[in-house]
Amino acid sequence: MDALLDPATGDYAGTRTDTLANAVYLRLMTPLGSWWADPTLGSRLHELQREKDVSRVAVLARQYTEQALETLVTDGRADSVTVTTSRQQPGWLELHIEVEDASGRTQRFQHPVRVA
């Protein structure tokens, strides 16, 4: 069990978890190629902060998220990853992520992405 990271603050939440929550959070929040130990860890979601709030940005956000989380499938920690997007308010995309882990449990995560 790992110490749970709070997605709202990026700090430890004070509890423990046996889910893929930390793995998903770290892969989405780390800019791709910026971690010295594994240049394949991370996503390109940080690039969307300067993009206009148009429909193609939602497609890019979904693709960037799927690419970042693909390593969970290839290393056997997850069986599948499904990503959808929605707009909750102007300037923000909400990523809805469903990860079916290796034991068959479906875990759901939400991740906000700022767009200009």
Q: What is the pLDDT of residues 100-113, one digit of tens each?
A: 998 999 999 999 99
Q: And the tokens for 44?
A: 């390109």
Instruction: Give me the amino acid identity at 53.
Output: D
Q: Does the pLDDT at position 35 exceed 80?
A: yes
- Is-contact 12 25, C-beta < 8 A? no
For residues 55 and 29, give the distance between their C-alpha atoms in angstroms, rounded to a whole number: 22
Most confident residue range from 8-22, 48-62, 64-78:
64-78
For residues 95 and 97, give the distance between their C-alpha atoms in angstroms, rounded to a whole number: 6
Has domain 2-114 been given CATH number 3.10.450.40?
Answer: yes
